[in-house]
Structure 1
Amino acid sequence: MKFAVSYSTPYFGVDPDRLVAHARHAEECGFEALYLPEHIAVHPGAAVGGHEIPPGLPYADPLDCLAFVASATRRILLGTGVLLLPYHHPVVLAKRLATVDVLSKGRMRLLTVGLGTLPGEARAIGVDFGTRGRRADEAIDVLRSLWAGGEEGVAFSGEFFAFEDLCSFPKPLGVAHLPIHVGGSSRAAARRAGRRGDGYFPGGALTPDERALQWDLVRSTAVEAGRDPAVLDYTRWGSIGMSTDAAAAFAAQGVTRVVVSATSADPGEQRDQLSAFAERFGLTGRR
């Protein structure tokens, strides 16, 4: 099982030196990847799962931050948890993601996409909140088509996106397309992961029974779509204080990656928390 770190710009801030120091320390500790969240815009009264989002939180652009981190690190992979796919035009996004991947020498490999839960955010972008699932499905297809296409160009005709003879360069480094993991806490997200995803990253607020049902749904939907469920990653949120027994229980459930986050806002305490986790799980030797 692999272990990654999430850096919450809304709560830890966007100070460049602090972000780089956190990423470098995570890399030195042996963590596989650094994840960043996304909200394009929030508003007073916006809430997720009953918890109000303070409108002044600094949700920095995750791809810009990851490109910045890549320039200051050597090995750590770059991830989003999650990128709100319906609110990005996939033609523009294909270029941005491939560019980050090339400049990072092939490290933009843990893109996780979700739908978003704030109707006001969708309205601000000009997206019909009720169509965002279909829009995300189509965007995934567009991304992969553009990454795989050559100089002859590719065409696409869908409900939301359409083009002819389109070329998108540069390409992701050394692969036909970047892995696209699907995030979410719904059965619809699980089915999307099975049909189109390279992995599933469910949210944290699920009962054990619902979580098991959704992972089974991912796998059965993959089989129905003619895909091999054995190649799909299963990523879960974990606690920075989790025990090795808890990790073993995750592994028994098929989990292939655990993402943790420091709980302290103090940079020094954050470093200590990451170091203690890495020592507990023997990560340093994996570098």
Structure 2
Amino acid sequence: MRLGLATPVVIQIPGVASSWEAAAGVDDLAQIAALADRLGFTHLTCSEHVAVPAHAAPGRGTTYWDPLATLAFLAGRTSQIRLVTSVVVLGYHHPLEIAKRYGTLDRLSGGRLILGVGVGSLREEFDLLGSAWDDRGARADDSLTALRAALSQTRPVYHGSHYQFADMVVEPCAVQSRVPIWVGGHTRRSLRRAMQLGDGWTPFGLSVATLTEYLGAVDLPEGFAVALSTPPLDPIGSPQQTLDRLGRLVDLGATEVNASIAAHSAAHYQDQLRALAELADPSYREGR
């Protein structure tokens, strides 16, 4: 299991985010990211929502920093930790737009991008952006295939059901020969899509029973990533509960963990981060 972070501040979901995050500044975010990098955490995440319908705010929250701007900023404050979009909504963008924007991020970060993508679930947001809702699944499948053809190519060629391109130059492109693509979602279809077209699955909003059912019904490809999320962890106050929660995710099949951390300030978050790193790997040394 590799231990990453559901980055605080940049996504504030009710019941998960701590109260200090609402007033946190850019310096707080930069210090946390730099510390996570030094401690050996594997990745940071950032999600995409352009605008959240007011009726959805109680469950989803309203704070979603733009993933491209945020992860580019964090790339400049870190050196090793990977940068995960969790997730970019495929239907909001042409595949070559994603390839250019996030290929540039991959180059700026020295090949640290993991491209998390999803089909999307807010019709109001689709309508706002003029994106197609009814066939978004088929479009997402075609977009994923197009992205695989385009992300690491300066002269990509693709002819699919919804997207076609040739005789176009995309420079810069990603420096990784194969950018890992994780597919998000909460349905069996999202897991099948991830297995067929991606390199990993990053589900959300699923119970332990449902995760067990979904993952138990498939044979995952070798090297396939399963990125599962934790509830807010308290490694200082409840170390054994923290270890138990991480262990349960491993038992479910997690290869990656998006850890949320409970804290009452940015300084306390950093203390919790150190404690979590030591729990996960007692031999760790900051700055190693």
Deviation at 1:10, TM superposition (A): 4.1
Amino acid at match of 1:249: R
Deviation at 1:265, TM superposition (A): 5.3
Alignment coverage as a number of residue pairs: 269
Deviation at 1:52, TM superposition (A): 4.0
Amino acid at match of 2:196: R
Counterpart of 1:170 in structure 2 is 172
Deviation at 1:176, TM superposition (A): 2.3
Whole-angstrom distance in 2 between the partners of 1:172 and 1:106: 7
Q: Secondary structure at the match of 1:144?
A: helix
* Alpha-carbon distance change, 101 to 149 in structure 1, aligned in 2, over 3 angstroms: closer
- TM-score normalised to the size of structure 2? 0.85
Counterpart of 2:28 in structure 1 is 18
* Alpha-carbon distance change, 35 to 148 in structure 1, aligned in 2, over 3 angstroms: closer
Counterpart of 2:120 in structure 1 is 116
Matched, 1:5 2:5: yes
Q: Secondary structure at the match of 2:162?
A: coil
Deviation at 1:133, TM superposition (A): 1.4
Q: Deviations over 1:124-160 (max 9, x none)?
A: 111122221112111111112123545xx44323332
- TM-score normalised to the size of structure 1? 0.85
Unaligned runs of 5+ in 1: 223-228
Whole-angstrom distance in 1 between the partners of 2:210 and 2:59: 25
Counterpart of 2:226 in structure 1 is 234
Cα RMSD, aligned residues only: 2.2
Whole-angstrom distance in 1 between the partners of 2:47 and 2:31: 18
Matched, 1:181 2:171: no
Whole-angstrom distance in 2 between the partners of 1:10 and 1:79: 13
* Alpha-carbon distance change, 71 to 42 in structure 1, aligned in 2, over 3 angstroms: same
Amino acid at match of 1:20: A
Whole-angstrom distance in 2 between the partners of 1:52 and 1:236: 19
Matches within 5 A, 1:60-79: 60-79=65-84
Matches within 5 A, 1:123-138: 123-138=127-142
Whole-angstrom distance in 1 between the partners of 2:103 and 2:187: 29
Whole-angstrom distance in 1 between the partners of 2:90 and 2:264: 29
Kept in 2, the 8 Å contact 1:146–1:167? The answer is no
Whole-angstrom distance in 2 between the partners of 1:125 and 1:177: 30
Q: Secondary structure at the match of 2:257?
A: strand
Q: Deviations over 1:226-250 (max 9, x none)?
A: xxx1220111002423533433333
Equivalent of residue 111 in structure 2, options 100, 106, 109 = 106
* Alpha-carbon distance change, 156 to 248 in structure 1, aligned in 2, over 3 angstroms: same
Q: Comparing 94-103 with 157-166, which one deviates more in the overlay? A: 157-166
Whole-angstrom distance in 1 between the partners of 2:216 and 2:60: 32
Unaligned runs of 5+ in 2: 13-20, 235-240
Q: Deviations over 1:197-238 (max 9, x none)?
A: 1011111x3233321232245x44x6xxxxxx1220111002
Kept in 1, the 8 Å contact 2:211–2:252? The answer is no
Q: Deviations over 1:38-86 (max 9, x none)?
A: 2111232235xxx4445xx342211111011111111111112222122
